[in-house]
Amino acid sequence: MPTREPPHAHGSRGDLQFRPPGPGPPPGAHRARPKKIVFEDELPSRPRPGTKKPVESIPGEHMPRPHPVPDYELSKYPPVSSERERSCYAAVFQDQYSEFLELQQELRSTQAKLQQLEALLTSLPPPHSQKEAQVAARVWREFEKKRTDPGFLDKQARCRYLKGKLRHLKAQIQKFDNREDSEGSVYF
């Protein structure tokens, strides 16, 4: 889940809010700035309690599928070249960020329920009769069906796509802001 981090105090324009044109606040006036959006996996990595270590090797028979380059990286959102373009990118970011948060919350809830169900199923005692074995097998099949449901998988894919797109938009805006900041800077 994305977290919020306060903006840097050295005048970076890392906020993604729309800024109306104009001279800005009078010199010395305090201007409240929105907080900077940072995704969890952009933070320094720390192992979460209770998580398993990733498997280091990939089986030899496993052939990785090619990953198509998303549309937002190819040509839909090239580097920002003007304040107007920046504000358009920021508006797209804000709109899709809310969709991403809703979708992520829904997926986390569903995944938590699936994990609880799996824990419950694995903790069941072994079946004592043929009928109990059949019921247990049917419950496991239903569990697998829910975990591999096309609607659920589509939501996961959409969430990954949105996260990548948001990260791309954020990077394009930050590159523009950094370029603008360095052009207006005086070094001694």
Q: What is the DSSP string of 64-133?
A: PPP-PPPHIIIIIS----SHHHHHHHHHHHHHHHHHHHHHHHHHHHHHHHHHHHHHHHHHSPPPSSHHHH
Q: How far apart are CA 163 and CA 2, in angstroms?
A: 10
DSSP state of 41: G
20: pLDDT strictly greater than 70: no
Q: Which pLDDT tens digit goes with each residue over 83-98?
A: 999 999 999 999 999 9
What is the reported pLDDT for 95?
Answer: 93
170 pLDDT exceeds 90?
Answer: yes
pLDDT of residue 9: 44
Q: What is the pLDDT of residue 181?
A: 75
Residues 51-108 have pLDDT tens digits of 555 545 555 555 556 667 777 777 788 999 999 999 999 999 999 999 999 999 999 9
Give me the mean pLDDT over the 144-171 stretch. 93
**Residue 35 pLDDT:** 61
pLDDT at 187: 52
Lowest mean pLDDT among 1-10, 37-46, 58-67: 1-10
